[in-house]
Structure formats: C-alpha cells, structure tokens
Structure 1
C-alpha cells in the first residue's frame, strides 16, 4: 500500500504543480480524474480492511489536495459563464429613452418558455465530472458553495441589467414615495423575468452539474439564488413603507406580480412568495384603515359655504371607484379579514363580503363625518342641503360603476333612504314654521279672526 501511495502521490503531484488550468487540456483533465478515481477507490478499500491509520491519513491528505485543485478548476469553469449577445438582446435591453449613463430595464416579456444556457456548450458536462469526484471524496458541500460563489457575479449582473438591485430595500429606505413608485415599476417586470426565466435557468444548470445528487443540487441552487431572495425583500419593505392611501395601487400591482409568479415559482421560493403576498395583503388592509382615519381627522371647519359637495366626499368616492377596478385582487388579499378562507368561492359578479364590508364601512364613516360637518352651518336648511348634495353625489358614484355590484342593492337602498330622510328634514326645516302657524290657527280659528291671526304670525 505504501508503494501505491507513493505512485499515486508522484502522479498526482505532477498535476498539482502545474500553474495552468488542467482543463485547458482535455488529456490532462482526463488523466487527473482517473488518478483521483483510483485514489478514492484505494481509500475506500483501506477504510474497510486496513488498520494502518497513519497510512490512511496520508491517503486522505492527498485526496484533500486533489479536491482543492478540483475546486479551483470547478470555479474557473463556472466563472466562464455569461449570456451571449443573442440572449442579452432577447431578454434584457436598455430603455430606448435612456442613454449609456442610465441603468437597464426589463422589457415586457411575452414568451416565458425560455431556458437560458448560462454556460458555454460542454462546460456543464465537465463541471459535472468534477462535482461527482468532489462529492465522492466527501467535499460535496464545498462544491455546492463553490458553485454559488462562482455564479454570484453572473446573477448580480443579470439583476442589474434588469434595472434593479438585490439590495433595493436598503438603498431606498430614506426615499420619497414618488421615487419608490418609480422603483416599484422597475421591480415588477424585473421580478417576472427573474422567476420566469433566470431562476428556472439556474435550476436547470444546477440539475445538470449535480445530476444524480439532488441534495447538493438543492444546496447549490438555494445558495446561488440568495440575491433573488434579497430582491424579493423589496416587497416586504414596500409593505411596511406604504401605509398611506395613495400607496394602495402600487402595492396591488406588486401583489398581482407575486400572484403571477406563484404559479410557476420554484418550490424553494414558494413559502417566501406566499409570506410576502400575505404581508402585502396586511398592508392593503392597513391602507383602508388609514383611509378611515383620514376621513375621521378631516377638519369640520372646511365645509363649502353654499352647501355643495365636500372635497373629502369627492376624494373618498373617486378613491373607492379607482380601487374597485382591482376588486378581485383586493378581495383575494383581504379574504381572511372577516373569516373567509382560501376555499371560499368568489363569484366574479358578487365577491365575498370582506371587501364589501370594508368599503361600506368607509362610506358609513364618511357619512358620519358629513353629518358632523352639516352641524357647523348653524342653519338647519343649509345643513340639510349640504347632506343632500353629498348624498346624491355618493349614490351617483356608486350607481355609475362596479361599486354597486360590490356593495349590493340593499346597501344602495339604505343610502338612498338616508338622502330621502335629509330631504324630509329640509322640508320640515323650511316649511315647519308656516305649518306650525297654520295648524295652530286651525285649532283656534272662528270667523274672520283666522285670517287676522295667521297674517300676524306670518
């Protein structure tokens, strides 16, 4: 065995001493792998039969030296990866409106059935040959980590060329909402390219290189894709930052984007995507709570002097109309708020009640606020005119869009009855004095004194 060790040591040392890549010569690569195979086989035989621990340790040290050289060769092979010009032009391009000083943006993708071959032809096969030897030698974890490290530059470049950054949450944490909206509009198409094209391509490459070794393929894939997870975390940051009513629509867009990729997402990311959707859903619920607070805080001293429609009424109803355009997404995001589960059937013409209850409650809060504002006029008829004008505006807005479908006929009739109630109050306030006089005179009238008494009071 000592002779075998010496022979293998002499042979392998010739390769280890070379200062050029072994894979620059296919003959050298083949010969080195054959020597590693023989060394590994010898060690396995010694482990089962030999009690010479010193000799076994010598073989192990030699195998470790081989594995470290294989690691360097493996990293060099993987690091040669890169999209060719055709792939770059097909998947990622610079905005036509931007010059060379600007970042790239993700174009609309219409064909998601794309797998990018990120390594030159034949390299994945050679990398697989190395991976099998390193795993057999007990260095599978190091091989997986080396793969992830070698792929990092390619993945970071791919993300950057989509016009976004893996660490967007950190970069824009002190940015205005207007700038965040711009970043969201970059993030949405970028995340679709990432999960429809880049991640499936990365999974395909891992499966090729670690063919037959699922656990190491999963480890290499998960470690290499860390930047994609960091890019996803931007949604979590937006969910926390967007707590004002105006942030609703961009958050809904992000929610829709995550819903879209959830149908194709790799199993390794499924839990993360689901958790982020739930986080955005909670943010959406929080936005409607913020809208309610905004209505309650609106000053009661700013009512129109002529009893016209109040700005807060226009704002709230136009806001609800705009939000109603995304009612199916909002219903899905909020379906757990009032006890609905994912098994609830959502009728496209009459959604489940969570969103309807929330919208109805917001309008109720608005009407309560308007009734409070009507009392500042100090003149009951004008206060009634104010309520009637705002009530008619509300009912027209509801009847003119999908809000009526969402809220239902019963709720619409309740609001209409309130308007009729305010009309009745207006009539009583304007004609009540005259009616009171007439009723009094009728009770006490006799002969010509009725006309004289009525004239005196009127």
Structure 2
C-alpha cells in the first residue's frame, strides 16, 4: 500500500467523523507544554500499536485467518476507537510541529490498521451477500427506520457491551434472524467506512465496496433477464422473441426499481452516511450501468420499425410500468450522479409515447386501406367491425395512459379528413371539453363506420345493405356499452348511435317487407274475386319477401328480437283480421284450400325462424383480419 503524504493524511476530508475527532482533540483544558503533549501523543500511539499489531495479517497467522468483527465485537469496537484516537494524535502532532519520527511511526500503524479494515470490509461484504441482498435491506428498512435500527453505526456503540447485548435482544424479539444479521452487518460496514473515510482512506474503502455491490446488482439484473438490446437487434427478431423479452422486462422492472435499486440505495445511504458526496457517487457508479440496461430496452423496442398488431399493447404495458413506478424511480435516482438514469427513463417514456401515436395512426390507415370487396353473406357483421372493435376495446383499458400520451393532440376535423363532410354534421357535436383520447377513439369509430357505409353498397338488395349497417352498428354499440369505451365516448354517443341502429332497421323493414305491408292495407270489397286477388297478392309478396330474407342474419339477439317483433306486429295481426273476416266466404269456394296457404300461426312461425345464424354462416375473412389478428393477452 503506498504511503500517504503527511499533509494529505492529517488534513483530509472534513467529514462529520473527522470534525468530531478534531473537536475531541481540541477540548478546552489547561494548556500543556510541548513535551507534555508529545508524551500524551506517544502514549496514545503506543496504546494503539498494541491492538493494531495484534491484528496485523502480515505478522500473525491468527490475524490472517480470523475475522476481527466476527471473532470479538467488543474488540472490534476498541480497534476502531484506537484508529480514531491514532488519527487524532497524528492531527495534534502535525499541528504542534512535533518530531516527524512519531508521525512516521503513527503513519505505519495507520497503514496496518487500514489494511486490516479493508480485509474486514471485504469479508463482511462477501460473507453477508445473502443478508445484505437488496430485498432483505429494503424489507428491514420498511419496518424500522435507519436511525433507530443502527445500534453500532459509530465506534462509540462498542463502548458498552451490556448496552450492545440489550439492543441485540430487543432486535431479535422484533425482527427475523435474517433481518437481524442484515442490521448487524450494516452497522459494522458503517463503522468501518466512517473510520476509513475520516482517516483519509475513502478511495480504498469505496473501491472494495463498489466492486462487490456492483456484482450483486449486475447478477440480479442478469437473473431477471434484462440485457442490452439495440433497436436494430429488435428489428431482426421475430415478434414472438421480442414479446418474450418485453414480458421479462415487465416482470423485472418493478423488482429492480422497488427492491434491487431501492435496497441498494438504503444500504449505500447507511454505510456512507458520513459523506453525502461519497454515498451519491458510490450509488451512482454501482447502479448506473444496470439502470441504463433497464431503461434502454423500452426505447430500443419503441425505436424499431417492427410492425405487429400487438406491439401497441406491449408499448403501452411498458409505458404504464414506468409511469406506475415513477415515484420510486425519481426517489431512488434523485442524486446528481444518477441524473442520466432519470433522463433515460424520461426518454423511454417519450419514445414509447411517440411509437404509440405512430401505431395508432397505422391502425387508422389499415382501416382506411382495407380492400375486401366481397359482401358478408346475409348482411352479417363484417370482420373489419369485429377486429376494429376488439382493438379499440383493448385500447380503452389503457385510457389513463393513452390520456397522458394524447393529452396535447388536436382532434381531427372535417377540413383535414379524407371522409365526407356530411359525416361531421351533428347538432350535438361538442368536443371542446372532451379528453383528447376520447376524441381520438371516437374518430377511429367514425372511420370504421364510414368504411362500413362503403361496404354496404356491395349488396344488390338495398334492404340487405340496411340490415348490414344495422348489424354492424349494433355490434359497435354493444362493444362500446360493455367496455371502457362507454366512459370515453359517453352516454350521448351511445344513445345517438342506438337511434341510428333503429333507423337502419326501419329502412330494412320498409324496403324488404314493404310490399307485404302494402298488400294487407289494400282496400277490398266483399266480392269474392277481389278478396281472392287480395289474398293472392299477399301470398305472392310474402313468399317473395320471405325467400329473399330467409338467408339474412342478425347475430345480436336484442336486435334480432326487435326486428322480428316489429315485422310480426305489422303483418300477423292484420293478416289474422283479414283471415278471420273472410274465411267463411272462401270456404264456400272450391279453391279455398289452395288460396289459403297460410294460417296466421303459419305466418308467425315462419317469421320467428328468420335471421338466425344457422341460416347462413357469416364470413369473417378479409384482408384487414389477416393483418390484424389479435391473440389473447
């Protein structure tokens, strides 16, 4: 070990421990002569020499293989006190300009003592890895404050053996064996650190501490599966591999921030309580590299241009993980030495937010570019509707996070939209006070509805096109009602679009069954020939309408029952009245059996069998569906 210069040794950092030592050395009292002071210093050095040399690992096999702090706590306390007294003596000798021989002797002893304390520091850190793991430290800290649990943080704690034993018994009664071992090790480490720092050996102390503690942090990060990944590497990976890494990161972030880094911060603050600058720089050097790995990963994923329908949700998961742990992140890395860690975390949030906005824009573009031209059989629900609403409902579960990401976004307006301006004509439209994310999601629903409107034109039968619109809008409204979208879009939105569903359903009835309704309203006289013509018109119109509508579907039971009930109410009672009024007349005619094809109950039974899914299998295949397949999360 290199010899320390006399001046740098005796006038080292003005830590709290050194200030205390100086104050003790300058206690007011009767002035002493130079010879008397030298005699006092000589006796102090001689007293320190006896104990220090006893534990010199270079001259004693016993000292080389035995741990002072494990062998005898009381003697360990006396050793630290001797070193502190030796430091005071050296300071006094230097101040009195006494003979350098005594300082050289004291310097030699100091080097031996520091070598011993370095060995003890290494042993305590190495042998107590389990007791000083961040989880044990953070758990102990949550139960007792640092100030009350540190029963031997300075050398004075070893002065009274009885008091020390009493403290140990109290501690054992209130905390677990592991936590007790953690408490004792932390107290020993602080005692050694205070002594070495006040003696001018801070560099040696910090060097040993950093090497061992950083290895623990790095090992914890490795075991949690966090590793350095660049955006280019993410780009080359299959999405399944990227998703697996994201899941590992999501599980790791809370453990690393709330336990590993938090526990290390507590330990570092405790051990180096004598110096703010040392504890800050030490903690920064131990954790900075691992924290950079942790917060660099989300940015790498966000910066990659890899496309996946699920990427949006994984980005939101990572954004939420950082946001939910932000208080702990900000608290743990509050030092200037760890400011780069906070910058990385903030940058990750920014990048994730940008990527989410970009992904949502891509999603909108995917809806607009959907090129499926085939009509869904039976006017059922289009896969575009199903997939889009699945996506939006999942997004609504992240409404709080999305609200933060889109807080400054301006809503779309007709002037900047590729959609017809008529789609914006709404007397109750007022987005002035609506959250940006609510407006954004309402806009995406509008884009979907406009696309469906275009799809409806593929039906040759206009009535089925209206049924198609009713089915799809009903699916949209139903998904909104049963998800968080109802809170984002609001009750007014739901009511307005439910009215539109009824309008579409009414148009379907009017066009698809209008001739049947008209045939029952035709004015007939009592002549048998006119009655026959009226009945034949009804039979013909009903059979034609039933034939065309028998392949239609209404997947939603509520809508299906509503449409069937409405059609039945318009046909069955009127037909029953006609049937009952003229049955006797027709029975007198020979052709009555062929003319009266349907009794009222027959009509009702036929209508009740309409719109069921078994009549027609709804196709859910489309180019959009193939690009937007969402697996269960």
Q: Which category describes the TM-score, using the shorter chain as reference length?
A: 0.5 to 0.7
Name the Cα RMSD after superposition. 5.0
Q: Which moved more, 1:248-257 or 1:377-386?
A: 377-386
Q: Which residues in structure 2 correspond to 1:210-221 (within 5 Å)?
A: 210-221=272-283
1:128–1:208 contact (8 Å) kept in structure 2:
yes
CA contact (8 A) 2:379 2:467 kept: yes
Residue 249 of structure 2 corresponds to residue 187 of structure 1: yes
1:75 is aligned to 2:122: yes
Identify the residue that residue 440 of structure 1 maps to in structure 2.
Answer: none
Q: Secondary structure at the match of 2:373?
A: coil
- Does the CA-based 8 Å contact 1:245-1:288 persist in structure 2? no
Structure 1 unpaired stretches of 5+: 92-109, 340-350, 432-458
Tell me whether 376-385 or 194-203 shows the greater mean CA deviation.
376-385
SS of the aligned residue for 1:123 comes to helix
Residue 30 and residue 84 in structure 1: after superposition, are their counterparts in 2 closer, same or farther (change >3 A)? closer
Query: Per the alignment, do residues 47 and 414 of structure 1 end up closer, same or farther by CA in structure 2, a change over 3 Å counting?
Result: farther
1:301 is matched with which residue? 373
SS in 2 for 1:187: helix
Partner of 1:107: none
* Alpha-carbon distance, 1:111 to partner: 12
> Partner of 1:167 in structure 2?
227
Structure 1 residue 382: Cα displacement: 6.2
Q: Is the 8 A contact 1:82 1:119 kept in 2?
A: no
Residue among 326, 331, 337 paired with 2:403: 331
Name the CA shift for 1:395/1:79 in 2 (closer, same or farther; >3 Å).
same
Equivalent pair of 1:308/1:386 in contact (CA under 8 Å): yes
Residues 222, 268 of structure 1: 8 Å contact kept: no
1:23–1:29 CA contact under 8 A, matched in 2: no
Over 3 Å counting, the alpha-carbon distance change for 1:359 and 1:275 in structure 2 is same
- Shift in Å at residue 400 of structure 1? 4.1
1:370 aligned onto 2:452: yes
Alignment of 1:237-316 (within 5 A): 237-241=300-304, 244-265=308-329, 267-269=331-333, 271=342, 273=345, 276-304=348-376, 307-316=379-388
Give the C-alpha shift of residue 357 in structure 1.
Answer: 1.0
Q: Is the 8 A contact 2:466 2:508 kept in 1?
A: yes
> Following the alignment from structure 1 to structure 2, what is the Cα–Cα distance between the partners of residues 378 and 50?
111
Q: Is the CA contact 1:82–1:118 (under 8 Å) kept in the aligned structure 2? A: no
SS in 1 for 2:333: helix
Distance in 1, matches of 2:502 and 2:99, equals: 101
Match of 2:58 in 1: 17
- Choose from 181, 184, 195 the match for 1:133: 195
1:143 and 2:205 are equivalent in the alignment: yes
List per-residue Cα deviations over 1:182-233 (Å, max 9, x = no partner). 4444433433333333333323322332233233223323332332553343
User: Aligned partners of 2:435, 2:393: CA distance in 1, in Å?
Assistant: 17
Q: Residues 144 and 334 (structure 1 numbering): CA distance in 2 closer, same or farther, change over 3 Å?
A: farther
The number of aligned residues is 397
1:407 aligns with 2:479: no
CA distance in 1, matches of 2:478, 2:185: 67
Shift of 1:314: 0.9
Deviations 1:72-125 (A, max 9, x none): 54233212222269x99x99xxxxxxxxxxxxxxxxxx9995787496563323
The counterpart of 1:155, out of the listed 187, 203, 217, is 217
Could you tell me how far apart the structure 1 residues matched to 2:141 and 2:308 are? Answer: 34
Matched-pair contact (CA < 8 Å) for 2:258–2:328: yes
Deviation at 1:39, TM superposition (A): 5.6
Q: Secondary structure at the match of 1:225?
A: helix
The 1:249–1:111 alpha-carbon spacing in structure 2 relative to 1, beyond 3 Å, is: farther
Unaligned 5+ runs, structure 2: 1-5, 7-37, 145-177, 335-341, 412-432, 514-633
Q: For residues 124 and 409 of structure 1, what CA distance do their matches in structure 2 show? A: 59
Match of 2:298 among 213, 235, 243: 235
User: How far apart, CA to CA, are the structure 2 residues paired with 1:259 and 1:277?
Assistant: 8
User: What is the alpha-carbon distance in structure 1 between the residues aligned to residue 180 and residue 401 of structure 2?
Assistant: 36
Counterpart Cα distance in 2 of 1:205 and 1:374: 67
Measured in 2, the distance between the counterparts of 1:286 and 1:118 equals: 52
Partner of 2:592: none
What is the aligned partner in structure 2 of residue 124 from structure 1? Answer: 186
Alpha-carbon separation, structure 1, partners of 2:435 and 2:217: 44
Shift of 1:150: 0.9
For residues 230 and 63 of structure 1, the distance between their equivalents in structure 2, rounded to whole angstroms, comes to 41
Hey, what's the Cα distance between the residues in 1 that align with 2:264 and 2:241?
31
| More deviation, 143-152/405-414 | 405-414
Q: Which residue of 2 aligns with 1:317?
A: 389
- In structure 2, the CA distance between the partners of 1:366 and 1:139, relative to structure 1 (3 Å rule), is farther
- What is the CA distance between 1:356 and its match in structure 2? 0.6
Deviation digits for residues 13-50 of structure 1, max 9, x if unmatched? 88363576586135786676566545644554576565
Is the Cα contact below 8 Å between 2:272 and 2:278 reproduced in 1? yes
Question: Greater CA radius of gyration, 1 or 2?
Answer: 2
Instruction: Assess, with a 3 A threshold, how the Cα gap between structure 1 residues 197 and 32 changes in structure 2: closer, same or farther.
Output: same
Q: 1:152 to 1:165 in 2, by over 3 A?
A: farther
- The change in CA–CA distance for 1:223 and 1:22 in structure 2 (over 3 A counts) is farther
In 1, Cα distance between the equivalents of 2:246 and 2:497? 38
Taking a change above 3 Å as real, the CA distance of residues 411 and 17 of structure 1, as seen in their structure-2 partners, is: same
Q: Secondary structure at the match of 2:128?
A: coil
Counterpart mapping for 1:40-79 below 5 A: 40-41=87-88, 44-45=91-92, 67=114, 70-79=117-126
